[in-house]
Amino acid sequence: MTAPGLGFDVTPFLHQDEGQHFDRKSLFHGPPEAKKPRDRKEVRDQVARYVAGFANAEGGVLILGIEDNHTITGHQLPQSALQTLLSVPQSRCEPPLPPGLVVPHDGHELVVFDVPSTDGPVQVTGDGFPLRMGDQTVDSSESKIQALKLQGLVESHESRPSALKLSDLDSDLLAQARRGAGLESLSDSDYLLKRKLADRRGSELVLRQAAELLFARLGPDHPNAGVRVFRVVGTERRLGATHNVEERPRIEGNLPQVWQEAVGVIGGLMRQPSRLVGNRFQAVSEYPRFSWQEALLNAIAHRDYSIQGNCIEVWLFDDRMEVVSPGGLLPELDLQELLSRKRVHCSRNPRLMRTLVDLGLTRDQGEGIPRMFAEMEDAFLPAPRIEPTARNVSVVLGNTTTLTEADRTFVERLAAEDLTQEEFRALLQAHRNTQVDNASLRQLMGLDTLAASQVLRRLRDRSMLELHRAGAQSFYTLDPGLLAGDRPGQGNLVLDRGELAADRGELPADRGELGADRGESGPISSTVTVGDFLGLDPALQQALASLGTRPRKEKLRQVIGQLCSDQWRTGAWLAGLLNRQPENLSDRHLSPMVKDGLLERRFPDIPNHPEQAYRSPSPSNP
């Protein structure tokens, strides 16, 4: 049952990825068909560590009873063991933290620990001081945590008292934050107290500056809490008769208003050059959306608001974008760690950051700066520059592609190939460096060893890469035909698919009907039969038979669209009929077609739903 008066709503967390302020764990282990309860002591130890880690950072939510694929499995604990688990934050943490609670959902009980940020370090009895960093909980020290607490929760501008009253705040924004935090049942004042955005002085509620910055209905009483946007004609600012700077109207208001308006203004100034997307050139924004928005959000969340003489400034030059944030780097942050893409977490304004997560303005996945670098690299743009001074921090994004003419020629050779992003980058790496190996592909794409090996083997099997065996030093080079721009034999790879219905043997025997109607949206076909093929329109049968083993992407996707035109089809059903691996079909075609609006998912908010199916959008499929 839910703890009295708390009314915690788990809904916002059910499909959320793990991050700085959220983690989920299963209470079972083993293969899906033979799940067994986890060791109870192991679970209690894990809870103590994660709860203390959240408390030593900015607080967070730990939910037990959710699998990695977001499936809810709950628990099978007897009442005595459940009560012992709920009391872990009190019995294992020093100072004690609030106990957990049980929240029923969808026929299961979830065990929830809603952890506040503390004013001082929290120790797991006999096991040190853990700290939440991104989506990991790491070992730290009492002195480091104490320094973070003093810097962020005691000495920062956001912790100071505000002259505003509760009635001066935007009640709609507060309701949005409460919903996002799973605390909709709380009053506005109780939410502010829980997030340390206010204090109780007798019967009076005293707001902090963080609450004013976030929720002031008429904007905060801060002369420069907004954003200034400048467009520069050229690559350098000039004065006098050659003045080349245009300033947009200053963006002011509470921080959610500032964020939304700034994103709209800056996005509207972005140009649309032709850039390489996958192995095709397309018109896209001159900077990856995540990268420039992450730079802007970091400036809003982490700037020094005690500096009241300067705004955040965004400068758009012809060749770069600069986001300048008042205040230097925090002493705990190391520039080289940031540039090396190491995940670090240190917040000047922890109250602001936690509430921005509640408001849904940041995804809270612990990706931040590392992903900003990765997105720029994936777009073949220069790595971001982070330039700190004693007065401010600038993030500089360049928009000049790193592709050479030789790269462009090579990419043109691949235009007709059906490649995943990982496969394309492996080929380009081999082109640029004369070879590619498992280690370099892992570093380039963030893959693990097995995934990188699978990518390289697929390309070898397609005669696009050649393997040079040397034990642990094995590497791959481009196939000579691909190097020369000529792939002999390609035209002979198309085999007659007319045998699909009768002779090939890959398809199981006819199993009869496809199953009962599953609801108003139409039946879902998941099992492939010979009857499925024979039951298709003759023109579609012919289209299937003419695909060959290596069809062009456009042709294959056209057939997929036709197969999904009349009812929901699962990925497994499509893969069986098309003689493709389900995972490859999903990665290379189904997901991109959903993104392009060519298909829709039956469960759009749960891409990995076990009964996921696809259908072509049309007037007859509302």
d(CA 1, CA 15): 22
Scan for tokens 């940020």, then name that residue. 117
Q: Are residues 275 and 343 in the same domain?
A: yes
Angle in degrees, CA 476, 480, 484, rounded to 5: 130
Inter-CA distances, 89 with 2, 14, 139, 449, Å? 17, 23, 18, 37
Q: Are residues 206 and 135 in the same domain?
A: no
In a domain, 204, yes or no: yes
Q: Are residues 328 and 192 in the same domain?
A: no
In a domain, 146, yes or no: no
Q: Are residues 507 and 466 in the same domain?
A: no
Alpha-carbon 229 to chain mean position: 27
Which residues are CB-neighbours of 240 under 8 A, at least 6 positions away?
none
Q: In the chain, pLDDT over 70 holds for what percent of residues?
A: 84
DSSP 251: B
The string over 351-380, giving b where at least 16 C-beta atoms fall within 10 Å of a residue's C-beta and e elsewhere, is bbbbbbbbbebbbbebbbbbbbbbbbbbbb
Average pLDDT of 128-154?
A: 84
In a domain, 392, yes or no: yes
Q: Are residues 174 and 60 in the same domain?
A: no
Q: Are residues 319 and 424 in the same domain?
A: no
- What does the pLDDT read at residue 533? 67
Among residues 434, 459, 348, 336, the alpha carbon closest in space to that of 386 is found at: 336
What CATH number did the domain enclosing 485 receive? 1.10.10.10
Checking if the pLDDT of 496 tops 80, the result is no
Model confidence pLDDT, tens digit, residues 282-292 = 677 899 898 99
In a domain, 3, yes or no: no
Average pLDDT of 509-517?
A: 33
d(CA 570, CA 528): 10
Model confidence pLDDT, tens digit, residues 246-258 = 999 999 999 999 9
Residues of the domain holding 541: 497-615
Q: Where are the alpha helices (DSSP H) in 181-234?
A: 188-194, 209-215
Question: Residue 387: enclosing H or E segment and its boundaries?
Answer: strand 385-388
Q: Cα dihedral angle (543, 545, 550, 551), rounded to 10 degrees?
A: -10
Q: Are residues 367 and 268 in the same domain?
A: yes
- What does the pLDDT read at residue 539? 79
Question: Which of 82, 110, 141 lies at the terminal end of a domain, its last residue?
Answer: 141
Average pLDDT of 268-289?
A: 77
486 confidence band (pLDDT: 50, 70, 90):
low
Q: Are residues 336 and 435 in the same domain?
A: no
In a domain, 113, yes or no: yes
Q: Is the peptide bond before 95 cis (omega within 30 degrees of 0)?
A: yes
What CATH number did the domain enclosing 39 receive? 3.30.950.30
Q: Are residues 300 and 369 in the same domain?
A: yes
Q: At residue 318, what is the residue type?
A: D
Q: Are residues 442 and 527 in the same domain?
A: no
Q: Are residues 389 and 422 in the same domain?
A: no
- What does the pLDDT read at residue 552? 82
Q: Are residues 42 and 113 in the same domain?
A: yes
Q: At residue 475, what is the residue type?
A: F
Provide the total of helices (H) and of strands (E) in the chain, helices listed first.
Answer: 23, 26
Inter-CA distances, 4 with 8, 64, 185, 221, 568, Å? 10, 20, 12, 38, 44
- What does the pLDDT read at residue 536? 76
Inter-CA distances, 445 with 11, 374, 474, Å? 33, 8, 19
Average pLDDT of 379-397?
A: 92
521 confidence band (pLDDT: 50, 70, 90):
very low
d(CA 584, CA 529): 21
In a domain, 222, yes or no: no
In a domain, 620, yes or no: no
Checking if the pLDDT of 515 tops 80, the result is no
Checking if the pLDDT of 74 tops 50, the result is yes
Give the mean pLDDT of the chain. 83
Question: Which of 111, 141, 171 lies at the terminal end of a domain, its last residue?
Answer: 141
Question: Which of 349, 372, 398 lies at the terminal end of a domain, its last residue?
Answer: 398
Per the structure, how many domains does the chain have? 5
In a domain, 483, yes or no: yes
